[in-house]
Structure 1
């Protein structure tokens, strides 16, 4: 489906494309050498990328990397396990200090998805004495907690053991989200924690950071401070007098505790406490910078922005762009949705399209739509967008060649037609008896406490997208196990094999690298048809013949309680028959109609 702005213009300028393909090696090399020879570019490089390259070489400017520059904070970096290996039992130290770790038990390498811990044998042995001499520390890492993880457990523990117990250590855990430090055992732990009931969500990636300096320990989630303790008196280097032989990731220092079950990646230890802005940059730099890149592209009239893994962010402008593409103006007084003002903006590589103005992109997209979906006919599905990386328009469709071949011929070199495949299935086509989310009045998936950062919001948007795409009844947050998706009792598909919506992007156009893994279940009470029948009966009972002037009524399915909730100001004489007819299935919440606004002058009128 095309996205349009208020004027009806396709928002090609605002679509952020993921790295669907990479620049040729020679082009990458030239990008890294400002002023390098243009001959390094081979003919296989697309026209758009040649333009980007030539523009860059003319400017002789430096490039940002694919990961935002501030996320590559190396000052004080003592150890860094990216955990992106594909085989072996070595967790390589990328800090340059040679502190490689040893993976014990099953090594479930997942490349960009980090190392999988099986909950029974997998852990990383970090070299001894990792905290020797440290008066301050930062421990930071990405973690995905398996929904079936039991308790208690450590995410990591650096210290010593005595018999079956810990004997001086620094650790973090997530079921009761906290970090503790002690010179002996748990009785003497000095803890930094939000509350005894706060836990990290399971089934989705989270970033955990703990910093300590002086008497202050601070615990962060996704770069947002969650707890602070200003009474910490133990320094990391004091543990064991600097000697620690039980330095583990994924394993507790108590033999009766569980091993960690889930995944981790990008595990870092610094010999200083990162500042709050540094913590946020490491934890959520990607999300924040994508939002900033989007704002730059939109404010300056670009038609595309995308990320190349080796070059970094690239912004493409229309061929007739009248401004200076090397002098991007930052949106004045811009803040993100959480009120944060950027301290650093991305520095994208600019380039001009060699084929399109904005009007030409819109004209081509309209022509594709008219051919594949004439008059709004949705027999064939279609997703059409401008791909700035290749400087062409892409049409993903299940239409046959007899429909698409004329387009391919007419717009050769400008239009790429992609057929849906098993790896790239078309958007879900829920039959009328399967359509659930959006028709049963469920509320959007979200944690009860709301969104505190961009990373959490993105993952909850993905939970909702999974529910929508897979024809679920509802998605909600369970405070114990995290995101849950509920399906009708007669759902015909495999609820444990959720399909990811192809081409889905966040509100900022970001294509996520990771998807949450919600817990899935079927309703114990309802098919979709039963829910809709009950909802219709509620409306009929409360507002006979569709008359909604007397009483207000709102009906929705509550996935957590597996019941239908009716909010209404109708009297009990109308609602009692509903609860009697559907015992255990319908809950009525009495709503009081607001009193009419008081007036002091009978001559008062609206707008006066």
Structure 2
């Protein structure tokens, strides 16, 4: 089991995948603090559609462009494919700075691989910014989406910590992304409700209490496809779109975004 899976904290397993059921983020399905009505999605603070060519991942909403490292590149088809060996995207630091709430939403397809791959990993490890591969760095604070774990429920999970594995909280679930199809995955950190929630294809999978604020996460290494834990494998698969909202979107808004699909306002 990866070090990233040994943290403590409470666990809430999903509600059976019923879209919009089990309550919304923070307040039983109603819009949380500052959240938008469900019929009109707010504009994301950052939006990456993976259009164009080359190694620059343009932020069409917030200007925080990222860089593709490890040899992968955009091919002009509106998607990014990572090889699972050494490819990842390095986004600018500080995307979470000053926020109480955040919704991270991504459309992604997994291409095999083991446990604790990282679809998204925003945080910092024990060796600081831009660690060298093989330096045995371990995560110190992070917000993570992973498609599989070593927990009893081995499917997709959301992990968050302000103090390494010991302070980790997680939402672990059974569903996997092993069908090689594009799925919408979203994690919601609701500071007002002090919860972490995980969604798959518009459906709430589960949520858990969080005992620290979003500001406690030092998002220095903001990565797609790479983990703050050096021993974890790289993610292999395809990204169609990534969005960050500066609020805790309610369940109905996440479902509406799923129904609308990627590459749309």
Same fold (TM over 0.5): yes
1:107 Cα offset (Å): 2.3
Q: 1:72 to 1:252 in 2, by over 3 A?
A: farther
**Structure 1 residues 310-335: Cα deviation after superposition (integer angstroms, max 9, x where no partner):** 9xxxxxxxxxxxxxxxxxxxxxxxxx
1:113 Cα offset (Å): 5.0
Structure-to-structure mapping, 1:330-479, within 5 angstroms = none
The aligned counterpart of 1:590 is none
Cα contact 1:156–1:250 (8 A) shared by 2: yes
Say which structure, 1 or 2, has more relative contact order (CA 8 Å, 6+ apart): 2
Pick aligned residue for 1:149 from 113, 117, 120: 113
Are 2:66 and 1:101 aligned? yes
Structure-to-structure mapping, 1:518-537, within 5 angstroms = none
1:184 Cα offset (Å): 1.8
How many Å separate the matches in 1 of 2:247 and 2:216? 15
Are 2:56 and 1:90 aligned? yes
Pick aligned residue for 2:45 from 78, 85, 91: 78
Are 2:138 and 1:165 aligned? yes
TM-score by length of 2: 0.73
Classify the secondary structure of the residue corresponding to 2:179.
coil
Cα contact 1:153–1:259 (8 A) shared by 2: yes
Cα contact 1:84–1:265 (8 A) shared by 2: no
The aligned counterpart of 2:251 is 276
1:150 Cα offset (Å): 2.2
1:285 Cα offset (Å): 2.0
How many Å separate the matches in 1 of 2:261 and 2:230? 38
Pick aligned residue for 2:147 from 157, 174, 194: 174
Are 2:235 and 1:260 aligned? yes
Cα contact 2:108–2:241 (8 A) shared by 1: no
Q: 1:228 to 1:79 in 2, by over 3 A?
A: same
The aligned counterpart of 1:125 is 90
Classify the secondary structure of the residue corresponding to 1:184.
coil
**Structure 1 residues 540-572: Cα deviation after superposition (integer angstroms, max 9, x where no partner):** xxxxxxxxxxxxxxxxxxxxxxxxxxxxxxxxx
Pick aligned residue for 1:208 from 175, 181, 185: 185
How many Å separate the matches in 1 of 2:198 and 2:56? 29
Q: How many residues align?
A: 210
1:101 Cα offset (Å): 0.6
**Structure 1 residues 524-548: Cα deviation after superposition (integer angstroms, max 9, x where no partner):** xxxxxxxxxxxxxxxxxxxxxxxxx
How many Å separate the matches in 2 of 1:94 and 1:71? 22
Cα contact 1:181–1:234 (8 A) shared by 2: no
- In structure 1, runs of 5+ residues without a counterpart are 1-69, 288-308, 311-608
Return the structure number with greater strand share. Answer: 2
TM-score by length of 1: 0.33
1:218 Cα offset (Å): 1.7
How many Å separate the matches in 2 of 1:166 and 1:179? 14
The structure that has the greater radius of gyration is 1
**Structure 1 residues 483-506: Cα deviation after superposition (integer angstroms, max 9, x where no partner):** xxxxxxxxxxxxxxxxxxxxxxxx
Classify the secondary structure of the residue corresponding to 1:129.
coil
Cα contact 1:137–1:269 (8 A) shared by 2: yes
Are 2:202 and 1:223 aligned? yes
Return the structure number with greater helix share. Answer: 1
How many Å separate the matches in 2 of 1:263 and 1:192? 23
Q: 1:268 to 1:212 in 2, by over 3 A?
A: same
CA RMSD, 1 decimal: 2.3
How many Å separate the matches in 2 of 1:286 and 1:167? 34
1:286 Cα offset (Å): 4.7
Q: 1:112 to 1:279 in 2, by over 3 A?
A: farther
How many Å separate the matches in 2 of 1:127 and 1:108? 18
How many Å separate the matches in 2 of 1:236 and 1:203? 32
